[in-house]
């Protein structure tokens, strides 16, 4: 009896031991299963097609071209591989203003004929209309709708997930935005983080250390939304005044807040690394006539360089994945940032801001899950490299 | 003579460089301390006028531009309790497995790597995962249970790690003594190891609760409600939560002039909860350490 209980307990405990691995596996499975659908959805909105005049030689357009055509950035067919002629846009909503109610019919029963006549009359027309009409037009030809490609998403530099008729899902501005704030945050945080950790492990008395440690813990314990709120109400207006910005919400504000948030991680990890430096090494250095400072930067720092590196990498990880604080202070403009005082938008902030509004199962929703996948793998790489760095140390 | 002079110069230069370097370290450390105090002072000074008994015990009124934050406080405690129920037993068991049961070095290394990876995953990814698994796939909808499970997953690595550390601190002689007296492995763990490790484990659990109480991103899409006129009835209801409430007050709304003071009050309450939790954890650790010493 006792043996059976023992066995069962051991079984349950063993199962729970694999819990974290299972959770990670589930995260991968679920994020991918929701996100990968993006690559099987069409570049233009579900249930709609683009129709051109039969004589038009253009076979297909990619998402970018469609968007530029409908934004009237491209106005000539020859820019997209056609033969001259101006592009004329026709959205299905325009029908009511082009035709009287009688001609369209009570329930749009004549809409098809009206569309056909329009398309026949103008060789340069491009019509964005529901599938049910598009397939029956005599003078029109549907453009080959193709699926969103991996290259368009990972290499695309426009993020307009709600644009019609062709939403743009380019990840580049978001990825660059995230890297941009993270890099600046680490640049701000590193001198402070290193100084405090050297101070605490090498210079300060035990009493000062005892006072500093809870303060660092406190900094670590403050919820990110509180940092965001502080950034929004204090840092953002100050930056706006100092740099004379039109809006204070900028990459700089995000980087400052992230720097404060990454500090505790950097400090604790690198301080641990420095304290692991054997006493004998320090004493040998001091005995040879080196000053304390020389000992620190010639002996202690080189000895703990891998620990300091993992501290920095962990700080990068923390900054990279931070959501709420960044969402509140960076202004969330999905453009490729040119200057640190521009508003920008990070991957986590995009997910947090847009998932609530994206219709479940649609391309927008899927693209946000795909962003989650990207984020997941980037942090996985960061964590694995920390693991690698610290294992090499031993 | 000359060489002595240069030696003097050299050591003086060394001293100056050292003092300069140490001065910079002191200065930058001082800056960090100042930053923390500025943050705290700002929130305390601006929030203290708003927080009173009514603020803590009444519902928001007038489209959240007036009134209290009672439902958000209750919601936060619901989520903390829910995630504790889920993450504590599983995390402790997982930690026990890693330290007491697993014997294959490679396997332990792998599991530890996975646990570290899990703790490094951004909270918004947990939010996405919670939404697709608990809210959509399992059909819980936006609910306390979905939010608690998501937050529980987030707390899991922390619980596992502290359990493992606590178990590591117990000398092997206790295990061997118990086994030598004829106790089984399970009995040894239950009667000898766990009671000894409990203080440290509980400290870790309390800290995990502190982490959970302040998280916003995981509950954005799994649980949090903008405004609810009554408290949740069951675990399948949505709830309000302090961090989300603060986020909403700070970023959306029509009347910032009236909202921001309430936001400061909310931030103050949130920080106070987090601090009380941290202080409790530290006090507990000290208490048990002293008790262990006197025993």
Distance CA A279, CA A198 (A): 15
Query: What local confidence, expressed as pLDDT, does residue A86 receive?
Result: 78
pLDDT class of A346 with cuts at 50, 70, 90? very high
pLDDT class of B293 with cuts at 50, 70, 90? low
Query: What local confidence, expressed as pLDDT, does residue A144 receive?
Result: 73
Q: Evaluate whether A22 touches A109 at the Cβ level (below 8 Å).
A: no
Query: What local confidence, expressed as pLDDT, does residue B273 receive?
Result: 93
Distance CA A301, CA A277 (A): 9
Query: What local confidence, expressed as pLDDT, does residue B7 receive?
Result: 66
- Mean pLDDT, rounded, of chain B: 88
Q: What is the DSSP string of A45-69?
A: -TTEEEEEETT-------HHHHHHH
Flag whether residue A369 sits within 8 Å of chain B, measured between CB atoms. Answer: yes
Cα angle: A49, vertex A52, A55; to 5 degrees: 150
State the nearest Cα–Cα gap between B229 and chain A, in angstroms. Answer: 21
Distance CA B212, CA A323 (A): 15
Which token pair is A74?
């491209």
Which token pair is B55?
């603020």
Query: What local confidence, expressed as pLDDT, does residue A119 receive?
Result: 78
Cα angle: A329, vertex A335, A341; to 5 degrees: 45
Flag whether residue A229 sits within 8 Å of chain B, measured between CB atoms. Answer: yes
Residue B245 or residue A81, greater confidence: B245
Question: How many residues are present in chain B?
Answer: 295
Residue B141 Ramachandran class (φ > 0 left, ψ -120 to 50 alpha, else beta): left
Q: What is the mean pLDDT of residues A261-287?
A: 91
Q: Evaluate whether B241 touches B75 at the Cβ level (below 8 Å).
A: yes
Which chain B residues are closer than 8 Å to A323 by Cβ? 122-124, 216-217
Pairwise CB contact (< 8 Å): B36 & A218: yes
Neighbours of A338 (CB within 10 A): 9
Which token pair is B91?
């995390």
- Mean pLDDT, rounded, of chain A: 86
pLDDT class of A143 with cuts at 50, 70, 90? confident
User: ipTM score here?
Assistant: 0.90
Helices (H), ranges, chain A: 2-17, 19-35, 63-70, 95-98, 101-104, 111-121, 131-134, 150-155, 172-198, 206-221, 224-230, 236-243, 251-275, 279-287, 292-295, 301-303, 305-321, 324-329, 347-354, 363-393
Alpha-carbon distances, residue B289 vs A44, B159, B203, B282, B283 (angstroms)? 65, 20, 12, 11, 10
Kindly identify which residue of chain B lies nearest to residue A347, measuring between CA atoms: B124
Decide if pLDDT at B2 tops 60.
no
Q: Evaluate whether B204 touches B51 at the Cβ level (below 8 Å).
A: no
Per-residue pLDDT reduced to its tens digit, B254-270: 777 888 889 999 999 99
Which chain A residues are closer than 8 Å to B125 by Cβ? 27, 31, 321, 372, 375-376, 379
Kindly identify which residue of chain A lies nearest to residue B39, measuring between CA atoms: A230
Decide if pLDDT at A222 tops 60.
yes
Helix H or strand E segment including A125: strand A125-130
Decide if pLDDT at A291 tops 90.
no
Pairwise CB contact (< 8 Å): B14 & A291: yes
Q: Which residues pair with A142 in a beta bridge?
A: A51
Which 3 state secondary structure label does DSSP give A42? strand
Helix H or strand E segment including B73: helix B70-96
Give yes or no for a cis peptide into A165 (omega within 30° of 0): yes
In 3D, which of B42, B26, B256, B235 has the Cα closest to residue B148? B235
Kindly identify which residue of chain A lies nearest to residue B186, measuring between CA atoms: A6
Per-residue pLDDT reduced to its tens digit, B140-158: 989 999 999 999 999 999 9
Decide if pLDDT at A100 tops 90.
no
Q: Evaluate whether A368 touches A31 at the Cβ level (below 8 Å).
A: no
Distance CA B162, CA B94 (A): 11
Which 3 state secondary structure label does DSSP give B224? strand
Cα angle: B155, vertex B156, B161; to 5 degrees: 105
Query: What local confidence, expressed as pLDDT, does residue B75 receive?
Result: 92
Which 3 state secondary structure label does DSSP give B85? helix
State the nearest Cα–Cα gap between B98 and chain A, in angstroms. Answer: 6
**Phi, psi dihedrals of residue B209, rounded to the nearest 5°:** -60, -40
Kindly identify which residue of chain A lies nearest to residue B115, measuring between CA atoms: A20
Q: What is the mean pLDDT of residues A222-241?
A: 92
Q: What is the mean pLDDT of residues A224-236?
A: 93
Which 3 state secondary structure label does DSSP give A147? strand
């Amino acid at each position: 009896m006792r043996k059976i209980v023992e066995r069962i307990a051991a079984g349950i405990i063993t199962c729970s031991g694999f819990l974290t691995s299972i959770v990670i596996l589930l995260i991968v499975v679920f994020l991918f299963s929701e996100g990968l659908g993006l690559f099987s959805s069409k570049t233009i909105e579900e249930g709609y097609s683009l129709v051109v005049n039969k004589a038009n030689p253009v076979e297909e357009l990619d998402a970018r071209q469609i968007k530029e055509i409908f934004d009237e950035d491209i106005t000539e067919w020859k820019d997209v591989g056609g033969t001259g002629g101006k592009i004329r846009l026709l959205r299905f909503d325009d029908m009511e203003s082009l035709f009287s109610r009688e001609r369209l019919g009570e329930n749009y029963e004549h809409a098809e004929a009206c569309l056909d006549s329009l398309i026949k009359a103008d060789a340069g027309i491009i019509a964005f209309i529901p599938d049910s009409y598009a397939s029956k037009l005599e003078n029109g030809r549907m453009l080959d709708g193709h699926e969103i490609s991996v290259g368009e998403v990972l290499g695309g530099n426009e993020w307009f997930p709600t644009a019609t008729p062709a939403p743009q899902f380019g990840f580049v501005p978001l990825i660059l935005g995230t890297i941009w704030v993270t890099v600046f945050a680490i640049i701000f945080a590193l001198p402070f983080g290193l100084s405090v950790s050297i101070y605490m492990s090498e210079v300060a008395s035990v009493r000062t250390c005892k006072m500093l440690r809870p303060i660092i813990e406190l900094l670590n314990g403050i919820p990110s939304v509180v940092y965001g709120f502080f950034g929004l109400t204090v840092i953002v207006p100050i930056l706006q005044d100092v740099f004379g910005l039109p809006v204070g919400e900028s990459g700089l504000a995000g980087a400052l807040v992230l720097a404060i948030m990454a500090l505790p991680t950097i400090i604790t990890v690198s301080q641990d690394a420095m304290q692991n430096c054997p006493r004998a090494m320090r004493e040998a250095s001091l005995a040879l006539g080196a000053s304390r400072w020389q000992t620190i930067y010639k002996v202690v720092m080189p000895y703990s360089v891998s620990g300091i590196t993992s501290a920095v990498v962990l700080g990068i990880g923390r900054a990279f994945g931070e959501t709420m604080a960044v969402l509140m202070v960076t202004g969330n403009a999905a453009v490729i940032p040119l200057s640190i005082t521009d508003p920008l938008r990070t991957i986590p902030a995009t997910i947090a801001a847009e998932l609530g509004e994206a219709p479940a199962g649609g391309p927008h929703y899927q693209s946000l899950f795909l962003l989650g996948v990207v984020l997941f793998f980037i942090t996985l790489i960061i964590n694995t490299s920390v693991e690698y760095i610290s294992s090499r140390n031993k | 003579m000359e060489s002595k002079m240069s030696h003097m110069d050299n050591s003086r230069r060394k001293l100056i460089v050292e003092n300069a370097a140490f001065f910079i370290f002191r200065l930058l450390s001082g800056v960090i301390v100042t930053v923390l105090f500025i943050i705290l002072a700002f929130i305390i000074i601006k929030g203290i006028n708003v927080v009173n008994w009514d603020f803590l015990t009444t519902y928001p009124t007038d489209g959240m531009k007036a009134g209290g934050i009672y439902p958000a406080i209750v919601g936060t405690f619901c989520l903390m309790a829910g995630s504790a129920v889920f993450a504590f037993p599983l995390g402790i068991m997982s930690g026990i497995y890693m330290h007491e049961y697993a014997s294959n070095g490679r396997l332990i290394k792998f599991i530890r790597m996975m646990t570290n990876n899990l703790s490094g995953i951004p909270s918004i990814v947990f939010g996405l995962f919670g939404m697709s698994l608990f809210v959509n796939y399992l059909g819980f909808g936006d609910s306390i249970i979905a939010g608690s499970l998501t937050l529980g997953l987030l707390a899991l690595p922390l619980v596992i790690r502290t359990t493992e550390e606590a178990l590591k601190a117990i000398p092997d002689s206790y295990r061997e003594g118990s086994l030598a007296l004829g106790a089984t492995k399970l009995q040894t763990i239950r009667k000898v190891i766990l009671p000894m490790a409990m203080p440290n484990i509980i400290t870790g659990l309390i800290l995990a609760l502190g982490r959970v109480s302040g998280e916003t991103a995981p509950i954005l899409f799994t649980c949090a409600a903008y405004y609810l006129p009554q408290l949740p009835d069951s675990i399948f209801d949505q709830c309000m939560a302090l961090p989300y409430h603060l986020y909403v007050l700070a970023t959306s709304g029509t009347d910032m002039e009236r909202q921001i003071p309430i936001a400061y009050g909310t931030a103050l309450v949130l920080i106070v909860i987090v601090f009380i939790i941290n202080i409790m954890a530290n006090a507990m650790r000290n208490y048990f350490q002293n008790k262990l010493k006197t025993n």
